[in-house]
Structure 1
Amino acid sequence: MAFAVIARYRCEPADEATVRAATLKMREHTLSEPGNLAYVVHAEADQPGVIVLYEQYTDRGAFEAHTAADYFDELIVKTVRPLLVDRTVTFAEVL
């Protein structure tokens, strides 16, 4: 069963360009992963500093492989997360 991740990142508006650039670079890497089905980056229309990610993988193992990648550590763990003032992540099975 396909596995989805919806992540909502909130940063200070001054940091949004950095967060946006890192998540878009992450998308480039992720779309080439064999287990990735989708990686869509959204900027919340009425809320500066909010980025929403929708990711879909063939299964949870593919998502775990994604988070084990060096570029995940560099772009998300080391670049994005330190700039966030709030982060929520929802894991779901695609019906």
Structure 2
Amino acid sequence: MTSMQPGRKLDLAFSREIRKLRENAGLSQTGLAAELGVDQSLVSRVEAGSRQLTIGQAMFWLQGLGLDCEAASSLVARLWVHNGARPSSFWKSETHHDSE
């Protein structure tokens, strides 16, 4: 059995949380994309775990899903504690709102 790269487990856990929060909010991927000002394909890639978000993007998405800053921070911290190392993309510099 091969082990996951450091941070991959966290990426996948975060992807599952985004999908669960979106579904609980009654939003489609298109609806969430509209709320965030991004393309639906980005929402799909994030939920599939094939596109990772930086911490700033993660907080923006969680707030777009209705979490306040404290709840979003708590969720990220809980996922980090339970899923090990941070993903390599998590602290990347953000020069613009990523809509790719």
Q: Please classify the TM superposition score into its range, dividing by the shorter chain length.
A: 0.3 to 0.5
Higher relative contact order (CA 8 A, sep 6+): 1
| TM-score of the aligned structures, taking structure 1 as reference length | 0.39
Structure having the higher helix fraction is 2
| TM-score of the aligned structures, taking structure 2 as reference length | 0.37
